[in-house]
Amino acid sequence: MKTNLFLFLKIILLLITSIVFSFKKDKVKEQTTCGKGSGYVVEFCKQVDNYEAGFGKADKDVIHVDCIVGPAGATVSNQTNGTYYCSGTYKLTTYDDAEIYLMWGGTTNIERELFKITKGEGIFSIKAIKESGGKGNIYLRMSSGSSWMFSTALDNNCNQE
């Protein structure tokens, strides 16, 4: 009888241990690659383009983000400091050349890479190191020389109208 009780308790302990570890495993996000770097996935469900007051043309000058990764715990709106990598596709028709870069709203101390593009379509991959500051969502901007063309903000509030 003691053997059966011991075996039963051992099975219960194993079940509890496996359940606890499966929950912990689900909560720990793994690093993944995006463009030329890796980090933790920064989730977003849509992009919000802003061409107002810019020199870019909707549907003619486009940034489409495929992925963005950053430091553990980063979201598109929590302004976490650290290194970010972003990759996607672009279309440029209004100017012969331009650049794409990663930004945060507000006064932000960023060491960022400018990805140079030329007229046509292609793939971009950029890096930015956010050191401090920032307010609002992560966004990407396309500019040509001193002309701001448009920006696209990454949004993770897709259940709200």
Angle at 45 between CA 130 and CA 101, to 5 degrees: 35
Domain 30-155 has CATH 2.60.40: yes
Structure tokens that stand for 16 in this block: 């509890």
For residue range 51-67, what is the model confidence (pLDDT) as tens digits?
998 999 999 999 999 99
Q: pLDDT per residue over 68-101, tens digit each? A: 999 999 999 988 999 999 999 999 999 999 999 9
pLDDT of 102 higher than 70: yes
Residue 128 has pLDDT above 80, yes or no: yes
Domain boundaries, the chain: 30-155
Query: pLDDT for 105-120, tens place per residue?
Result: 887 789 999 999 999 9
Q: Are 68 and 154 in contact (CB under 8 A)?
A: yes
